[in-house]
Structure formats: C-alpha cells, structure tokens
Amino acid sequence: MSGFEEFDVTVRIWRQAASAEAGVWQEWQVRIPRGDHVLNLLAAVRRNGDPSLCFPAHFCKIGTCGACALLVDGRPALGCRALVKEPFVEVAPPRGRMILTDLLAEDAPH
C-alpha cells in the first residue's frame, strides 16, 4: 500500500455471537503496514481472514468520537489511536458493556 513497509502480525481476537453465548479466542495472520492502527488491522482480518468479524464500523476517523473503544493487549484503547508496532496483538471488546457480536458492544451510556 503506497510504498509503506509491511510486516506480518498475528492477531488474537475475541469472538462471541451474542452476549448470552460463550466466546472464544481466534487467531489470524495478516500483513499490514508497520505502525498502522488497530481498526485498519481489523479491516485487514475481515478482508483476508473472516468477513463475518464484527467490530465498530461507524466512527469519526479523527480520534474524537469514542465509538471504536476496545481492549488492545488488555488495556482500554481507541482502535483508531492504537498503533500496531509489535508482531502480536490481542483485541477484545470494551469492558463493562453488553456484547452485541464479537468486538461490537452496546453503546456506553451517554
């Protein structure tokens, strides 16, 4: 992609069909530009791994709306702000919110 250095990333993602069902970790290998953000990493998984992966698809793209809140490597983070620089990354839904599907959770209370 436009001359960026790419690298292979193993990504472990929490999959859960609905809040009442059991979840599992799944792993994929994807190749992305080094230092891309987590949302673009998830998009690469959906493109090249599993198209059914559900994650927040509606967000501002400027780091302000908070819609892409996730747990990245166990820590709360915005998917659009968290950069992927290591060859292993773990992504889970945000804590304390009802899971709709996979990484997509019910809105935080406004």
The encoded tokens of residue 49 equal 């791994």
Residues 79, 84, 87, 91, Cα dihedral to 10°: -10
Quick one: 58 or 75, whose CB is closer to other proteins?
A: 58
CB proximity list for 58: less than 8 A, separation 6 or greater: 67
* In the complex, minimum distance from the CB of residue 2 to other proteins, in angstroms, rounded to a whole number: 5
Quick one: 37 or 92, whose CB is closer to other proteins?
A: 37
Quick one: 68 or 92, whose CB is closer to other proteins?
A: 68
Asked if residues 67 and 59 have their Cβ atoms less than 8 Å apart, the reply is: yes
Site string for other proteins, 3-32 (x = CB under 8 A): xx-------------x-------------x
Site string for other proteins, 56-95 (x = CB under 8 A): xxxxxxxxxxxx-------------xxx------------
Query: Which of 56, 54, 58, 34 lies closest to 45, judged by CA?
Result: 54
Cα R_g (the chain), whole angstroms: 13
Binding site for other proteins (CB under 8 A): 1-4, 18, 32-37, 40, 46-47, 50-52, 54, 56-67, 81-83, 100-101, 104, 107, 110
